[in-house]
Amino acid sequence: MTLANAQPQALQFDCETGNYHTFCPISCVAWLYQKIEDSFFLVIGTKTCGYFLQNAMGVMIFAEPRYAMAELEEGDISAQLNDYEELKRLCMQIKRDRNPSVIVWIGTCTTEIIKMDLEGMAPKLESEVGIPIVVARANGLDYAFTQGEDTVLASMLIRCPDKAPETDKEDRNAIHKLLNFGRKQEDVKAEASEYVDHPPLILFGSLPDPVVTQLTLELKRQGIKVSGWLPTKRYTELPVIEEGYYAVGVNPFLSRTATTFMRRRKCKLIGAPFPIGPDGTRAWVEKICSVFGIEPQGLEEREQQIWANLEDYLQLIRGKSVFFMGDNLLEISLARFLIRCGMTCPEIGIPYMDKRYQAAELALLEQTCHEMNVPLPRIIEKPDNYNQLQRINELKPDLVITGMAHANPLEARGINTKWSVEFTFAQIHGFSNARDILELVTRPLRRNNNLKDLGWDKLVKEEAKI
């Protein structure tokens, strides 16, 4: 083998210590307030934060959202006003107007800079207002786009009960009897026997309800019972989490929540790849099965069936290259899936890399590259955007997945782009949603093919020169 053809045998990691060029993490409110139906989110920041939320969530203007801004004025920033009294007034108003089961305070960059003691004020105010107040710091100084959800879930995890109250047990028994009323005892026992005897399992990560159902059923097919999800649809239904329970994540940006499971709640974390794409979903289920000593059934056939159904999309991207600039921390999982689809990936930019939490995903990425016989990507943490643009200019990738700030400038230079934020809001988990990922990835490529068919590609190039 010549030196020019030699490829690295292990993943390369670099850190360019650039700024977080990502969407603001307070945008986690957009999906969490819908997921936790009895919650209210109070974002504590400046008018800039309010403008951002209005623009980011303007499409939900008719949904009567359960979030609000506590805007800091110049007097607050110079410490001339009483923060406690003002927050108390707002929380009392929220209780009077909405009466939620929990109020979540979202800290911003401003609360970090002026050192507001949100954690100190919350317990006292909680006792006065009579509603639980959860504090989550989702500032863009310390966290990237999707890590806002991570801080919220980590804070809620601490509030999960460590044992079920006796009244809850009685209620559950009554509901169980009601649901099984009129059914034969044999049918009830048969349903119970579908599950293998294993320790309780908690899944964490905010997903749309249909995807939650899909993943729960995938595990049920293997005889694995999900004891609870974090977050739940209602704060009052947070799962019971005792010492020794098992936990597994569904998203790669939840490293703080994973750490809280292990250190604060003494749970055992299952280090698995993430259920994104048919290959990742199969590996995720197989890892959980292996921890519980279960022989997985039918996963290989299921995966092959999904791949066969994706062939029309695979033909569009096979042999093409994709470059990730880094935005939502889904980059490693998406790159691994696209490499399995037949693409190459010279570089993966990612705002924050927790090698411990993503160890299984990184191992699967490396294995996938070897099996597909493609070069291993270079992984850049906190990429410097100027350097990245130079590398994009040299590599000329077929597709760049990037934040919204760089999409139009790249398009003007004739480079196909896709907004990374779209993958955050799309349903991309599980076997059946792989098609949705490829629908997003291939859209700019299909658009260009259509332009060529119409003869407009030459016109676009001429306009770009002008």
Does residue 109 have a known ligand-binding role?
yes
CA distance 160 to 297: 33
Does residue 91 have a known ligand-binding role?
no
Smallest CA-to-CA distance from 460 within 419, 418, 414 is with 414
Per-residue pLDDT, 449? 74
Assign 3-state DSSP to the chain and report helix, strand, coil percentages, each to 5: 50, 15, 35
Q: Which residue has the tokens 């060529």?
A: 452
Residues in contact with 307: Cβ distance below 8 Å, sequence separation at least 6, in sequence order: 278, 314
CA distance 248 to 265: 14
Per-residue pLDDT, 179? 47
CA distance 144 to 329: 8
Per-residue pLDDT, 145? 87
Per-residue pLDDT, 117? 86
User: What DSSP assignment string belongs to 78-114?
Assistant: TT-S-HHHHHHHHHHHHHHHT--SEEEEEE-HHHHHT
pLDDT digits 0-9 by tens, 189-235: 445 567 889 999 999 999 999 999 999 999 999 999 999 999 999 99
pLDDT digits 0-9 by tens, 358-390: 999 999 999 999 999 999 999 999 998 889 999
Does residue 24 have a known ligand-binding role?
yes
CA distance 324 to 303: 26
Token pair of 318 as six digits: 């096979």
DSSP 433: G
As to burial, measured by CB atoms within 10 angstroms (0-12 exposed, 13-18 middle, 19+ buried), residue 197 is: exposed
Q: Are 139 and 108 in contact (CB under 8 A)?
A: yes
Return per-residue pLDDT of the chain as tens, 466 residues: 333 444 556 888 888 877 777 788 888 888 888 899 999 999 988 888 888 887 776 655 555 677 788 877 655 555 555 788 888 989 999 999 989 999 999 998 888 888 888 898 999 999 999 999 999 988 888 888 888 999 999 999 999 998 876 655 555 555 445 545 555 555 544 455 678 899 999 999 999 999 999 999 999 999 999 999 999 999 999 999 999 999 999 999 999 999 999 999 999 999 999 999 999 999 999 999 999 999 999 999 999 999 999 999 999 999 999 999 988 899 999 999 999 999 999 999 999 999 999 999 999 999 999 999 999 999 999 998 889 999 999 999 999 999 888 888 898 888 999 999 899 888 999 999 999 999 999 998 888 777 666 555 554 555 455 4
Domains of the chain: 25-143 (3.40.50.1980), 186-294 (3.40.50.1980), 301-465 (3.40.50.1980)
Strand partners, 133: 103
HSE of 128, CA atoms in CB hemisphere, 13 A: 13
| Three-class SS state of 121 | helix
Strand partners, 104: 41, 134
Question: Which helix or strand (DSSP H or E) is residue 44 part of?
Answer: strand 39-45
- The sign of the torsion formed by the CA atoms of 424, 425, 430, 436 equals negative
Q: Where are the alpha helices (DSSP H) in 265-356?
A: 277-291, 299-309, 311-317, 331-340
| pTM passes above 0.85 | yes
First to last CA, the chain: 46
